[in-house]
Amino acid sequence: MILKVARMGHPVLRARAEEVTPEELSSGSIAALVADMEDTMMEYEGVGLAAPQVHVGKRVAVVEVPPEARHEGDAGFPRTAMINPVVTPLTDEMVAEWEGCLSIPELIGLVPSPGRIRVEWTGLDGERRAAEVAGFAAAAIRHEVDHLDGRLYVDRIEDLRTFQFTREFARFGRRRSAG
């Protein structure tokens, strides 16, 4: 089922989401939420979606980053439901990526992220998992876990002059970044 997406200004996007308990996970309610979140992510062609974006204050995110979504040679990240995810930077080197958000439609901005991260999460089966991620997928996962802490990508934009409408970016942005 496609869910309504909360837009910037809704308080649910600024609250810290709650940890999912083992009881909730075994009840099946989280699996149902994840299925709806995946439907919603696909409908709006996102590479990730966090539960607060569908008005649920739980630490649940889905991600799916196709290989080479942004950069040649990037591995991407397969479709994954992450319960109680934790991101740890593996480098001090920050890489800037253009980010958008289904909760802030039609806008993008340039956001610095750690170039390589470790992410740990619990799967729907209750097993704890971990992965090391680089490239655009690392930024996408950081973006989703930020949502669980009430943080939006706009909070991380260093140069607000990069904050712009996608349509204008398509007209003028590429030319500028290529120059």
Interface positions with Zn ion (CB under 5 A): 101
Closer residue to Zn ion in complex, CB, 22/105:
105
Q: Which is nearer to Zn ion, 129 or 151 (CB)?
A: 151
- Closest contact distance (angstroms) between CB of 42 and Zn ion is 15
Please say which residue, 101 or 148, places its beta carbon nearer to Zn ion: 101
CB of 50 to Zn ion, least distance (A): 7
Catalytic residue selected from 72, 97, 144, 168: 144
Measured distance CA(28)–CA(93) in Å, rounded = 40
Q: Which residue's CB atom is positioned nearest to Zn ion?
A: 101
Say if CB 24 and CB 18 are below 8 A apart.
no
